[in-house]
Amino acid sequence: MEKKDAILNGEAVLGIEFGSTRIKAVLIDRGGAVLAVGAYDWENKLENGLWTYSRDEIHAGLVGCYAALKQAVRETYGVTLQKLAALGFSGMMHGYLPFDAAGNLLTPFRTWRNTVTGQAADELTALFDFNIPQRWSVAHLWQAVLNGEEHVAKIDFFTTLAGYIHTLLTGEKVLGVGEASGMFPVDSETGDWNEAFLQKFDALAAGRLPKPLRELLPAIRTAGEEAGLLTPRGARFLDPEGDLQPGVPVCPPEGDAGTGMVATNSVRKRTGNVSAGTSVFLMVVLERALRNLHRELDIVTTPDGAPVAMVHCNNCTSDINAWVSLFGEVTEAAGGTASRGQLFETLFREALDGDEDCGGVLSYNYFSGEHITGFTEGRPLLMRQPDARFTLANFMRAQLFTCFGAIRIGFDILEKEENVAVDSILGHGGFFKTPVVGQSVLAAAMNAPVSVMATAGEGGAWGIAVLADYLVNNDAGETLPDFLNNRIFASLEKTTLAPDPALVASFGRFMQSYRKGLSVERAALEV
């Protein structure tokens, strides 16, 4: 009855996150407890050499996800969702969505997964002496300029996926500072775009863009600051049935990196988290600036503006998903039945019984390029020695280990070259839905204790809902770290696993093969 009353009284808070394979809506109460969940499955497409989602797919996914949540509320509580206390949107970080002055999208959405901006990323990194990865929005913009693309002359505004959804429903062209820091470098002292870098960019781009860069970028907001209200038009778009009331406060839109930090209570210095889904990234909140420029590391911020080192890898679970689908076909062809969830759990658990050397099995999960290892495109690859022990357990151990192969290379730089200290690592995302297994593999890969929250499976959608909650329910005026500690995570269930020495040794052997086998992956790409 308390949950039902919270919904009826408009006290519930909603977060919606656009993940790479699923759009998820999570409705929470004032303390962060999940009231209802809705989801909409989608998949990116490789069109004309670029990974994208169409604008129609984005719209359909938003509406479909909310409809699923609304139906879940109706079925669970017997009421119609009409009022919200707050709302927030999140999405896959980075990417490129340019618009003209009339709001027309000038190119198909170019996602973080594209590795076609190498020249731009190199030039901007040299210009700023600050790493600009290929997936950053400004790299896409500058590459479009270098390519002489026709749409550049018409750009009035460009943003990310989360920023687009926020603008669509509120009319406000803003971004949360964490999401903004993946478009263009942010000054952590001012919480705004890096002014010196803006000036350097404008000098470089003189006469080649219709406006100074600052006028093309969204405004920046920090967690807890107002970012707009759900307009009547936005409410009707989100809920075509017309039940949702407008005027809902909307928090600054954030990327999946920022919501992952919130969802794992990893916004304090010396905390870290690993988000593992279609992509995988490690975030470590820094005590100090890094001593050197590393092309393998991004410098972004938490949703409240603290500097963060980010190791981002494009590939994680896509290849596992493909194999699970294949095993599902085998099961069905043999007359059996198993849900996708059962298949995942069964196969994940098999990995714990694999041999130390994975039986001589090696896998690369490169569906797309991987900048840390120097690949602009991917070729999923499975190989083994002729005398390999090709068992299901060894196959699955190699599949799970390869999810953290590239990320381990980046973590070595943080740990060994920059002496960055991390007190705790928390895992979240679909990789950790099977209890113990994913957590054990990550602990072995990082050689550090790994914790998983009870909300790990809800991921960033829950995280952006908490940021929306912070906007309207921070009565005591707490900082974001204190609000999370005192209000959200004080009683939340958490499990922690220390690294298993045998599994650590096994992952170490796998990494030796992984590094050597990259030449085979490169040959597969070349031919």
Residue 289, domain CATH: 3.30.420.40
Give mean pLDDT, residues 320-334: 97
Q: Reduced to 3 states, what is the DSSP secondary structure of residue 468?
A: helix
DSSP string, 308-356: EEEEEES-SSHHHHHHHHHHHHHHHHTT----HHHHHHHHHHHHTTS-T
Whether 495 and 437 share a structural domain: yes
Whether 339 and 447 share a structural domain: no
| Within a domain: 247 | no
Give the per-residue pLDDT at 433.
Answer: 85
Give the per-residue pLDDT at 260.
Answer: 87
CA angle centred on 153, ends 149 and 159, rounded to 5°: 85
Give mean pLDDT, residues 340-367: 96
| Within a domain: 359 | yes
Whether 440 and 325 share a structural domain: no
430, 276 Cβ separation under 8 angstroms: yes
> Using 50, 70 and 90 to split pLDDT, how confident is the model at 279?
confident
Give the per-residue pLDDT at 458.
Answer: 64
CA dist., res. 346 & res. 335, Å (int): 18
Whether 348 and 450 share a structural domain: no
CA dist., res. 168 & res. 176, Å (int): 16
Give the per-residue pLDDT at 435.
Answer: 85
Whether 416 and 481 share a structural domain: yes
97-99 and 157-159 as β-strands: parallel, antiparallel, unpaired? antiparallel
**Bigger pLDDT: 73 vs 2:** 73
> Using 50, 70 and 90 to split pLDDT, how confident is the model at 202?
very high
Is the pLDDT assigned to residue 304 strictly greater than 70? Answer: yes
Is the pLDDT assigned to residue 504 strictly greater than 90? Answer: yes
Whether 391 and 421 share a structural domain: no
| Within a domain: 149 | no
| Within a domain: 207 | no
Whether 304 and 442 share a structural domain: yes
Whether 414 and 474 share a structural domain: yes
Mean pLDDT of the chain: 94
Give the per-residue pLDDT at 455.
Answer: 60
Give the per-residue pLDDT at 171.
Answer: 97
Whether 414 and 491 share a structural domain: yes
Is the pLDDT assigned to residue 283 strictly greater than 70? Answer: yes
Domain with 336 in it: 318-402+502-526
Beta bridge partner(s), residue 23: 18, 40
| Within a domain: 371 | yes
CA dist., res. 285 & res. 271, Å (int): 6
Is the pLDDT assigned to residue 456 strictly greater than 70? Answer: no
Indicate the Cα dihedral angle 137, 412, 351, 451, nearest 10°. Answer: -80
Give mean pLDDT, residues 180-203: 96
| Within a domain: 453 | yes
| Within a domain: 520 | yes
Q: How many domains does the chain have?
A: 2
Is the pLDDT assigned to residue 93 strictly greater than 80? Answer: yes
CA 186 vs CA 292, 472, 501: distances in Å: 18, 25, 40
Is the pLDDT assigned to residue 370 strictly greater than 80? Answer: yes
Q: Which of 457, 442, 371 is nearest to 401 (CA)?
A: 442
User: Using one digit for the tens of pLDDT, what is the confidence trace for 156-176?
Assistant: 999 999 999 999 999 999 999
C-alpha gyration radius of the chain: 22
Whether 387 and 460 share a structural domain: no
Q: Reduced to 3 states, what is the DSSP secondary structure of residue 420?
A: coil
282, 316 Cβ separation under 8 angstroms: no
Residues 6+ away with beta carbon under 8 Å from 135: 93, 94, 95, 112, 113, 114, 115, 117, 182, 312, 314
Give the per-residue pLDDT at 397.
Answer: 98
| Within a domain: 158 | no
Is the pLDDT assigned to residue 189 strictly greater than 90? Answer: no
Whether 296 and 359 share a structural domain: no
Whether 421 and 489 share a structural domain: yes
Give mean pLDDT, residues 362-379: 92
Q: Which of 465, 501, 499 is nearest to 484 (CA)?
A: 465
CA dist., res. 296 & res. 471, Å (int): 34
Is the pLDDT assigned to residue 225 strictly greater than 60? Answer: yes
User: Using one digit for the tens of pLDDT, what is the confidence trace for 98-144?
Assistant: 999 999 999 999 998 888 999 999 999 999 999 999 999 999 999 99
User: Using one digit for the tens of pLDDT, what is the confidence trace for 15-60?
Assistant: 999 998 899 999 999 989 999 999 999 999 989 889 999 999 999 9
